[in-house]
DNA sequence: GTTGCCATGTAAGGTGTTACATGATTTA
DNA sequence: TAAATCATGTAACACCTTACATGGCAAC
């Protein structure tokens, strides 16, 4: 999936500038792009070329002109079509698992230290997600059903990090048991 | 993280050709690269340039010459250093969540159909992971501890899809309750 | 006789990141 | 006085994917 549909999604709420979109992407976890200008401004040019959005230029005296993008009828149709299209499975790039694959090279203390670092990071990330859900920064909540969907989206992320934490705890405990020589086959 | 360390990891077991590596990557879930030749052959050229691997060319009469790569001392040192370096958090690109963000556009039946498709796919993927663990295709298992690490790596993936399945079940049930108008705030 | 395996690679394109550039205004 | 905010964008590069190219051999 490409960033264009997410942009169309945001524009389906209200007209926005590239700068606005940049902040929306930067502020949220599950919009996983970094929110960098390059991608967003190029995507907007492309969407404009395809007439999925229209552009209005607002003059400003001391700042650069604002380019306000509005979704068109075709844009809404394209968004709607994508929303209904067959879903993809998530892509998980778990670099740490690759690291673990050869972690038998490490002595027990160093391995445990590595796992502890990972655990701390995952916990920190979990807190960030939970805090983000609590604040509910960008929540359209136009209907109760939509509010429910957004809550469940946040739950998905939170659950992911909780699972990750539980897993690393189990792993560390298992390795300690190993050290004490009481491991089953 | 880049593919180079994973290649060094595989080469730390035994010398391999690009073709061998390609298959190793293609066969496993948590080595998340697609296992395409472009990346692998270029990475090998780079590693060779940095003298982290050495290359031996085996003549063959009817096939192209095999280029067998062996990890060097520097290669092992680089691998060891990377294994001990501070771990990164996993990157999750969950396109379906982005789709869900605007799924309130869909009527109830279509939304449920979408979720069902996702559920089926996730279940299928879970089975693939479980099957892969059962077969234990590429498992070094040089020490019991290493075997344990690899089992836990597989568990991580399996748990991920199990979590995903449980989540989508909850979501679907919640939406049905919504339809029946018995939703709490 | 077509598919798949062995074994090397190239070409082209999509996607994404970081850093840079401008320049006035507000906040610490 | 340094920084962040508003608002646009460019440049360079890293990374990753699909498809293509070669060509003999084995299996179904």
**Same domain as B101, residue B72:** no
Q: Closest nucleotide to B91's CA, by C1' atom?
A: C16
DSSP states of A57-119:
EEP-SSSPPEEEEEE-HHHHHHHHHHHTSPPPPPEEE-HHHHHHHTGGGS-HHHHHHHHHHHH
> A163 with A101, same domain?
yes
Spatial neighbors of B46 by CB under 8 A, at least 6 apart, are B4
Looking at B63, B83, B103, the residue that finishes a domain is B83
Residue A19 beta carbon within 7 A of nucleic strand D: yes
User: Which pLDDT score, from 0 to 100, does residue A29 have?
Assistant: 83
A77 and A143 housed in the same domain? no
Q: Is the pLDDT confidence value at A176 over 60?
A: yes
Are A121 and A59 in a shared domain? no
Contact between A53 and A70 (Cβ < 8 Å): yes
**What does the alpha-carbon distance between residue B114 and residue B95 come to, in Å, rounded to a whole number?**
13
Residue A41 domain-assigned (yes or no):
yes
**Chain B residue with minimum CA distance to A76:** B105
Tell me the average pLDDT across B97-121: 97
A30 confidence band (pLDDT: 50, 70, 90)? confident
pLDDT at B108 over 60: yes
B62 touches chain A (CB under 8 A): no
Query: What is the SS3 assignment for A9?
Result: helix
CATH of the domain at B53: 1.10.10.10
- At A182 the pLDDT is 54
**Does residue B90 form part of some domain?**
no
Q: Using the CB atoms, write b or e for B63-74: b if 16+ within 10 Å.
A: eeeebbbebbee
Report if residue B79 sits inside a domain. Answer: yes
Residue B175 CB: number of other CB atoms within 10 A?
Answer: 19
Percent of chain B clearing pLDDT 70 (strictly above): 97
Residue B87 has pLDDT above 90, yes or no: yes
pLDDT value at residue A139: 76
Residue A57: CB less than 7 A from any atom in strand D: no
Residue A185 has pLDDT above 50, yes or no: no
Domain identity same for A29 and A99: no
A119 and A76 both lie in a single domain: no
Does the beta carbon of B142 lie under 8 angstroms from any beta carbon of chain A? yes
Q: What is the dihedral of CA B85, B92, A48, A12, to 10 degrees?
A: -140
A118 contacts in B (CB within 8 Å)?
A: 87
Chain A positions touching B121 (Cβ under 8 A) are 87, 89
- What does each C-alpha distance from B50 to A25, A57, A74, B54, B81 come to in angstroms? 38, 52, 52, 10, 15
Q: Average pLDDT in the A33-52 region?
A: 95
Kindly state the tokens that stand for A112. Answer: 């445990």
Whether A120 and chain B come into contact, CB under 8 Å, resolves to no
Question: Do residues B77 and B139 share a domain?
Answer: no
Average pLDDT, integer, range B60-78:
91
B72 and B32 housed in the same domain: yes
State the average pLDDT for chain B: 92
Across A112-136, average pLDDT: 92
- Once rounded to an integer, what is the mean pLDDT over residues A65-85? 96
Residue A127 has pLDDT above 90, yes or no: yes
Q: What is the pLDDT of residue B182?
A: 54
> Does the pLDDT of residue A184 top 70, yes or no?
no
Least confident of A108-112, A148-152, A178-182: A178-182
Q: Specify if A30 maps to a domain.
A: yes
What does the pLDDT read at residue A1?
58
In a domain, A14, yes or no: yes
Euclidean distance between CA atoms A176 and B179, whole angstroms: 49
Neighbouring residues of B70: CB distance < 8 A, sequence distance ≥ 6: B11, B15, B53, B54, B55, B56
* CA B19 and chain centroid, separation: 18
Is B185 a residue whose pLDDT tops 60?
A: no
Domain shared by A69 and A133, yes or no = no
> Could you tell me what percent of chain A has a pLDDT over 70?
97
* pLDDT single digits (tens) A9-24: 999 999 999 999 999 9
B48 touches strand C (CB under 7 A): no
CA of A51 to C1' of D14 (A): 31
pLDDT above 70 for A104: yes
Check CB contact under 8 Å for A90 and B86: no
End-of-domain residue from the set B83, B104, B126? B83
Question: A50 beta carbon < 7 A from strand C?
Answer: no
Looking at A83, A108, A126, the residue that finishes a domain is A83
Averaged pLDDT for residues A165-173 = 98
- For the record, the structure tokens of B69 come out as 């790569």
Q: With a 7 Å cutoff on the CB, does A49 touch strand D?
A: no
Q: Give me B178's structure tokens.
A: 């919504």
Contact pairs from chain A to chain B, CB under 8 Å? 195
Please indicate, yes or no, if residue A184 is contained in any of the structural domains.
Answer: no
Residue B149 DSSP code: H
How far is it, in rounded angstroms, from Cα A92 to Cα A102? 19
Are A101 and B152 spatial neighbours (Cβ–Cβ below 8 Å)?
A: no
Give chain A's domain count. Answer: 2
Are residue A13 and residue A76 in the same domain, yes or no? yes
| Chain B residues 18-37, Cβ below 7 A from strand C | 18-20, 22-23, 36-37
Q: Are residues A99 and A79 in the same domain?
A: no
pTM for this one? 0.92
Give, as ranges, the nucleotides of chain D with any atom within 7 Å of a protein CB.
Answer: 6-12, 14-25
pLDDT above 90 for B140: no
Q: Are residues A76 and A112 in the same domain?
A: no
Q: From the CA of B56, how many Å to the C1' of C17?
A: 36
- On the question of pLDDT at A109 being above 50, the answer is yes
**Would an 8 Å CB–CB cutoff place A89 in contact with chain B?**
yes
Range of the domain at A30: 3-83
- A149 shares contact with chain B (CB less than 8 Å): yes
| Position B89 in a domain | no
User: Is residue A89 in some structural domain?
Assistant: no
Q: Per the CB < 8 Å rule, is B83 touching A91?
A: no
């Amino acid at each position: 999936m490409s960033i264009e549909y997410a942009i169309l999604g945001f524009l389906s709420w209200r007209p926005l500038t590239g700068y606005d979109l940049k902040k929306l992407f930067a502020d949220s976890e599950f919009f996983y792009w970094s929110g960098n200008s390059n991608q967003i401004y190029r995507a907007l040019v492309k969407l404009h070329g395809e007439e999925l959005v229209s552009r209005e230029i607002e003059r400003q005296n001391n700042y650069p002109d604002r380019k306000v993008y509005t979704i068109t009828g075709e844009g809404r149709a394209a968004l709607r079509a994508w929303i209904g299209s067959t879903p993809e499975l998530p892509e998980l790039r778990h670099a740490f698992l690759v690291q673990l694959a050869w972690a038998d090279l490490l002595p027990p203390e160093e391995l445990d230290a590595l796992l502890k670092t990972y655990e701390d990071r995952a916990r920190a990330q979990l807190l960030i997600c939970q805090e983000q859900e609590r604040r509910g920064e960008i929540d359209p909540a136009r209907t109760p059903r939509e509010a429910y969907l957004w809550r469940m989206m946040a739950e998905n992320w939170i659950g992911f990090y909780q699972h990750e934490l539980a897993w690393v705890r189990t792993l560390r405990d298992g390795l300690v048991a190993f050290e004490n020589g009481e491991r089953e086959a």
